[in-house]
Structure 1
Amino acid sequence: MNRSGTADLRAATAVEVTKDRNGVDQVVLRNRRGSSARVSLHGGQVLSWRTDQGEELLFTSSKAIFKPPNPVRGGIPICFPQFGNCGSLEQHGFARKKIWVIDQNPPPFLQHNDSNDKVYTDLLLEPSEEDLKIWPHSFEFRLRVCLTVEGNLTMISRIRNINCKPFSFSIAFHTYFSISDISEVRVEGLETLDYLDNLFQRERFTEQGDALTFESEVDRVYLSSSDVIAVFDHEQKRTFTIRKEGLPDVVVWNPWEKKSKSMVDFGDEEYKQMLCVDGAAIEKQITLKPGEEWTGRLELSVVHSG
């Protein structure tokens, strides 16, 4: 490739910091093929992930509230240090409501098949005095959001205990996938797994089907899953693949019609166009001794067929 061609590729790969309508910083990642991702420092939340054709892959509600401290309904909120209501904190913890900062001095991250074609941003969350009053544990939560040359979205998380005593936490990357119609979607990779059903007071069941399909509200935590889960969207002729490390559980959620109407930041009929499938660590909390660090990795990819 000639020099001008190389320069053109580099120019097309970009990391740009912008502001949303409330003045909160966002980082926009663009790879050289035209794929993009947008990450808000409000919650360290990925709000957009687009293909090189401009196709949006993440769902965001038309009624989503973008003004802090409200979490945004859609994208990929980070639920930490608690998932759900099973604990002393507010539902899904406080990380998704906090303003993160761009990490100016990130430590070396675990990289898989690293190359110069990746574009990424590093974010950091540390507890405020207010946070320490409700959850008295000092930590550093470092997050790298990365867009590969193929357009895959990768989130690498490192949580370090800088406390003088151990602490435990649960975590989930609450991924809202954009789908054509919930009745045309199936999830594979969960067969024969035990799951906790939040619609039945977290009672434990075993998945009987070869694939999970949807005819009513679903709110489950599948336990000790494989590291690869697939979401097939028949109408759109595309398949999302979720690859994960350090995140043994999988949350599957769709609110269906009745619950949708009870949520102020969610459209009455929008349950048809979204499905949450999360990489998570919920059933067995992660415990860190002083100075210890946990690493989790989530990679999302999409393949079109037909």
Structure 2
Amino acid sequence: MSAHKKKPVPLAVGRSTAQESSSHGSIQISDDSQSVTLSLVSGASAKVLLYGATVVSWKIQERELLWLSEASALDGSKAVRGGIPLVFPVFGPPPAGTAVEKLAQHGFARTSKWNLLGRVEEETEGDKGVRVDFGLSSDSLDDETKAKWPYEFGLIYSVTLRESTLETKMVVQNPGSAAFEFNVLFHTYLRIPDVSTIGVQGLNSLTYRDKTLGGTEHQESSDVIKIASQTDRVYKSAPDAITVLEDDKPLYTVTKTGLNDVVLWNPYSDGAEKIGDWEPKEGYKNMVCVEAGSVADWQTLEQESTWEGGVTHKAHL
């Protein structure tokens, strides 16, 4: 069956509360107009803040599938610690001598207020879902950020909730007269029962940059990667599907499209102690970041061109 899509339906963000419902599910804007909740008739749900367009909750059968720090700021005062923060246009500390060198770590997408563009009903091979689109452009940035990164751009970020998956997609547009370079990353914090019982499969034989060892490069030799210490690796040219196993059974599958790399991160005990908004400190036992993106090298977007990439997170419950 071919994919069936309806045209975007604008959401009534001018009211203090807005709700759009259909046979697929519903989209509800919070009373303070600062978040959107997607719900399906099956009971699956997702919550997205307009600040950073950050997904802060994804539930199936009332089970929370994303890890969120109990000390994370959710009021727009700083980047959210947990959920799915968006990294653009730079990953990590900006390198000196580059066009992004004046920006904060991980760029401005995760700390900007996004616009709510509308909702869409989708059905693919009988799998019904609801989607919300968010937008951010150079016109949305404050003067200070524009001065640090003076390129014309447009971002469209889509979050689609289905019965067993959460899909996130980014479209980057360059309407300007000059090309620009960028990194992009979906910084997904997956909730897990216990870090000692999980493994990550699909990265064997790949070259990775180990940020805990000064950024040196190594070759992965494990079919199933176990996390027993602080882990911060960028796997280059990764396959499209990565699986998180619990006791050798699939727990999550992370499938990427149009993205080159995968970052595997867990701060472990020593790293969590140094992160001020990480609570509880033992929370590292219940999360693993499997982050799809294009960050090992810069992506170049020519004038009047468009780039897109996305991630599908599937839970095996």
TM-score, normalized by length of structure 1?
Answer: 0.89
Alignment match, 1:173: 186
Pick one of 62, 69, 72 that aligns with 1:61: 69
Question: What stretches of structure 1 of length at least 5 have no aligned partner?
Answer: 1-8
The answer to which structure has the higher strand fraction is 2
Alignment match, 2:85: 77
Matches within 5 A, 1:16-27: 16-19=28-31, 23=32, 25-27=34-36
Alignment match, 2:171: 158
Alignment match, 1:4: none
1: CA distance, partners of 2:239 / 2:70: 33
Cα 1:165–1:12 change in 2 (3 A) is closer
Matching residue's letter, 1:295: E
Question: What stretches of structure 2 of length at least 5 have no aligned partner?
Answer: 1-20, 96-100
1:96 lines up with 2:110 in the alignment: yes
Alignment match, 1:208: 221
Matching residue's letter, 1:173: F
Alignment match, 2:197: 184
Pick one of 153, 158, 170 that aligns with 1:139: 153
Secondary structure of 2:66's aligned partner = coil
Secondary structure of 1:99's aligned partner = coil
TM-superposed deviation, 1:67: 2.4
Alignment match, 1:41: 50
Computed over aligned residues only, the root mean square deviation of the Cα atoms, in angstroms, reads: 2.2
TM-superposed deviation, 1:238: 5.3
Matches within 5 A, 1:120-135: 120-127=131-138, 128=141, 129-135=143-149
TM-superposed deviation, 1:117: 2.3
1: CA distance, partners of 2:93 / 2:54: 20
Matching residue's letter, 1:32: V
1:115-168 superposed Cα distances (whole Å, 9 cap, x missing partner): 6822011100112133211111110000110012x3310012100012210000
1:276 lines up with 2:284 in the alignment: no
Runs (4+) off by over 6 Å: none
- Paired residue total: 287
1: CA distance, partners of 2:71 / 2:242: 29
Cα 1:67–1:10 change in 2 (3 A) is closer
2: CA distance, partners of 1:117 / 1:181: 32
Task: Give % identity.
Answer: 33
1:30 lines up with 2:39 in the alignment: yes
8 Å Cα contact 1:249/1:282 also seen in 2: yes
8 Å Cα contact 2:259/2:310 also seen in 1: yes
8 Å Cα contact 1:10/1:32 also seen in 2: no
